[in-house]
Amino acid sequence: MLKLTKIFRDEFGHTDKNFGQHFLVNDHYLNEIVESLEISDEKNIVEIGPGCGALTLKFLEKGAHVTAVEIDKKLVDFLERYLFFYNNLEIIHDDFLNIDKYQLPPQFSFAGNLPYNLSTKILMKTTAFHERIDKMVFMFQKEVASRINAVPNTKDYSWISVISRYFFDIKKIRNIGGGNFWPKTKVNSTVLVFTPRKRHFQDSNREKKFLEMVKKSFVTKRKTLKNNLKNEIPDIENILEELFANKSIRAEQISLEGFIKLYERIYT
């Protein structure tokens, strides 16, 4: 077990189940995460949920400036006690979902082992910082990562797949078994790397309306797209026939580019 995690375990004996805390203790996998961010001296890293600081310490030793956002006061106190001598560390005691743009550096990379029950919300929150992000590396529950990284015509494809790829190119690094965490977990995890891509819509109102349309398209997955959208778009059946030659097409059959084409046909 890694030194900081062992110290925490010896002091407190357990993690807080309310926050879903499971700390990665496999040093090889931690190094892979660090390497995936291509850290150089003075690079800004925003770490969401640093936990005991195992990953934080590796970033600091690489010379990065780390802004660690931690909701658990016990962990904030722990990190302040054991990492106080690093002047390239800033700790923010808050829920990341409450963080605003003024609290983070002008340009940075995100990293973190995300709490599984909030990982989708956190991922969507990061899009608010899209223009300032160099790269992101996050660990998700394996099933959630599969939905994020899914492609059309697969069972995992959903609105989160489309919206994630609207903002980012996504690459899977590896799966990690539950035995590599303390405490051990019965679920497996997956590490994904996100690289920002150019957003199609420059107008924020059009972009917001597009993202809402994507979500509504998947609101009832078993229904056809025309049934999910017919209340808002009376002519949807003819539009689908025109664009896809299939008026009974389902949302999970349509790529990101297809959704953009659909939006522009409807609202332009």
Please check if 22 is assigned to a binding site: yes
Please check if 53 is assigned to a binding site: no
Backbone angles phi, psi at 53, to 5 degrees: 95, 15
Residue with tokens 């590396």: 137
| pLDDT at residue number 168 | 99
Answer yes or no: are the C-beta atoms of 96 and 69 closer than 8 Å: yes
Q: How confident is the model at residue 14 (pLDDT cuts 50, 70, 90)?
A: low
Q: Render pLDDT for 88-113 as a digit per residue (tens, 0 to 9).
A: 999 999 999 999 999 999 999 999 99
CATH class entry, domain 204-267: mainly alpha
Please check if 24 is assigned to a binding site: yes
Q: Render pLDDT for 15-63 as a digit per residue (tens, 0 to 9).
A: 666 656 788 989 999 999 999 998 877 899 999 999 999 999 999 999 9
Question: What is the fold of 3-196?
Answer: Rossmann fold (3.40.50)
| Number of residues that this document lists for the chain | 268
Q: Where in the chain is the domain with CATH 1.10.8.100?
A: 204-267
Residue with tokens 């903002």: 167
Residues sharing a CB contact under 8 Å with residue 95, sequence separation 6 or more, in sequence order? 71
Q: Where in the chain is the domain with CATH 3.40.50.150?
A: 3-196
Please check if 55 is assigned to a binding site: no
